[in-house]
A = this chain, B = another copy of it.
């Protein structure tokens, strides 16, 4: 079957490097293969409803449309976390219910005359892509995206390096203030289930403690580290906190239950660690939550090149009819891996691995 029309979409949270993927796939598709390429708006939203438009709607992409977009964060196609065609939220009788709208997606795919689809997204998007294949919409190729770098099937995902650089720059800034004021500065970074951002940024920034989702922390250990540093003439410390880290004994609070309830709901990991730590040490503790600035901005050279290589490789897979594959980085090479195998291969920081060992050798407290 000759490919003529290819759709491309981005799903899940945005990530620096998405636009380089889109640009590379579009340029390769047009220049190498003469395809028409449809940019589908807000992940599956543009396939569930062909009239969907927020703010653009689906559109045919030309080389001009993707010119210079590789320097921009975000995604020109928009993205959505609420476009799973197998569990699509609609209002019925005044209530929101989740329904299966895959048949509509498949019909629209055919209506648009699409021969294949490039789906760029996280583990959830890859799972949906595989489900589409299983249900007969087979001509799909995946491009992995996770800012947390927690996908086992690829060495790195784009966005991670940029996020870590933002966090590293922030740690460099906080160190100045920590030293000037004799403070403990806590910086909360992204990472609900995997602590790679915290670990990489913590090592790069020379943090004195790094708290990961993979290692439950004991606040006493952190307090000991802070105290030892103080006694050694360094009355300041930097603590990097993954948003998903948890204390060893479960979450407790010295506040009354009512306030505590509010706190536990409202506070993130950074504030919780700070509150607990404050009870053990005399130094001032301050928390910075980096939040969404880790997700945006111009991608680093690493993320631009990785995104470009992924996008180009995805186009070639389509051209060769190698569907059901996902592109991945292994060592220095881009390789295809089966979507089926890739889905669900979550990667976690190994508490006994090289990187954590390096941290321990440097005196980093992991809680």
Contact = CB atoms under 8 A, between A and B. Distances in A.
A94 to B, nearest CB: 17
Most chain B beta-carbon contacts within 10 A, residue among A14, A75, A296, A332 = A296
A351 interface: no
Contacts of A185: 292
Contact of A308 (B75, B315, B358): B358
Contacts of A168: 301, 304
B304 A203 contact: yes
A182 B301 contact: no
A186 to B, nearest CB: 10
B73 A305 contact: no
A301 B201 contact: yes
Contact of A361 (B10, B32, B174): B32
Nearest to A288: B291
Contacts of A70: 204, 206
Interface residues of A, number: 95
A49 interface: no
Interface string A291-326: 111011110111011001100110110000000000
A280 interface: no
Contacts of A31: 361-363
A352 interface: no
A180 B14 contact: yes
A286 B185 CA distance: 23
A269 to B, nearest CB: 15
A100 B293 CA distance: 45
